[in-house]
Structure 1
Amino acid sequence: MGHVLAPGVTAPDFTLHVTPDQTLSLGDLRGRPVVLAFYPADWSPVCGDQMAVYNQVLPEFRRHEAEVVGISVDSAWCHQAFAETHHLHFPLLADFEPKGAVARQYGAYRDGEGVCERALFVVDREGLIFWSYLSPIAVNPGADGILDALDRLETQETNDVRTQSAGVGG
């Protein structure tokens, strides 16, 4: 397993296809937490289960105002069919051409196999990586780590606001 980008690092910006004619940039989501879920391939059993879990806990992610984005090297067409089949309600981005370019920036690409690692990132409202996790490729990492990170991020943001408020005029 490789080394994914660590917390505290600025998340590399990117623009990838959501559909064959629509793109999404990380910068478009600035101002809210973003969950980046890199995964190997749409139709593998573990990936299907992993994305289904995120779909089920989407209300919890939204409670934290977090956007969830899945990323793999599959094409936008493949993502579209996969998302429709699994009734996914969050975007899947195609890191298709140049293959794995964004995954490589995040340290989440498996050169020998030509697929993304199963890697998770929580990016804060300012675009810094708050939490990252590299799962064994055959293991569904679930959502507990992400939800814990979002809870900690929310607590930190609340404390930062309180500290700033206390410092005003003090």
Structure 2
Amino acid sequence: MSGIQCGGPAPDFTLRDQFGQDVTLSSYRGSKAVAILFYPYAFSGVCTGEMVGIRDRLAEFLTFDTEVLAISCDPMFSLRAFADQDGLNFPLLSDFWPHGEVARAYGVFDETTGAPLRSSYVVGKDGTVRWATHNAMPEGRDLDEHLRQLAAAV
């Protein structure tokens, strides 16, 4: 897995969230650091656990200076059902079509499964990648470390 390099610019994107609203990464430039969490599949065990963990700590992830964006290749309507089922009230972005385009731009699209790898990036207010981590499929993320890195990027 290659991923993108820390210190370089984060590839910009515009994706639809679970409500059909466009979310553009560069719209946060100059105002917020952003945690981008690629996850393989809505409704799967580890992914559900991670997203519920973020929901439970949302006040820590979302401040005046920070934002969290979760990205999968699931269709927008699946993401809406996933969000409704588990009370996920933060942006779940659909990289469905062109399928995996954003995950490919970040170097984390698995061509065999057609889904992103379990990878995370923290993008500073200046639009540069400050931190990246890649977890094996069965391993959940360390949300404490994500929060430390996000706070450091502010």
TM normalised by structure 2 equals 0.93
Match of 2:90 in 1: 90
Match of 1:143 in 2: 143
Match of 1:18 in 2: 17
Quote how far apart the aligned CAs of 1:150 are. 2.2
Quote how far apart the aligned CAs of 1:45 are. 0.5
CA distance in 1, matches of 2:131, 2:17: 24
- Written as runs of structure 1 = structure 2, the 5 A alignment for 1:63-142 is 63=63, 65-142=65-142
Question: Deviation digits for residues 72-117 of structure 1, max 9, x if unmatched?
Answer: 0000000000011110120100000111000000011111111000
CA distance in 2, matches of 1:24, 1:151: 22
- Written as runs of structure 1 = structure 2, the 5 A alignment for 1:149-160 is 149-154=149-154
Quote how far apart the aligned CAs of 1:20 are. 6.3
* More deviation, 95-104/21-30: 21-30
User: RMSD between aligned alpha carbons?
Assistant: 1.4
Higher Cα radius of gyration: 1
* More deviation, 24-33/145-154: 145-154
* More deviation, 97-106/62-71: 62-71
AA aligned to 2:143 is: A
Match of 1:29 in 2: 28
TM normalised by structure 1 equals 0.85
Quote how far apart the aligned CAs of 1:29 are. 1.9
User: Retained in 2: the 8 A contact 1:76–1:94?
Assistant: yes
CA distance in 1, matches of 2:151, 2:65: 11
User: Retained in 1: the 8 A contact 2:34–2:150?
Assistant: no
* Structure 2 unmatched ranges of 5 or more: none
User: Retained in 2: the 8 A contact 1:124–1:130?
Assistant: yes
- Over the matched positions of the two proteins, sequence identity in percent amounts to 34
Quote how far apart the aligned CAs of 1:142 are. 3.0
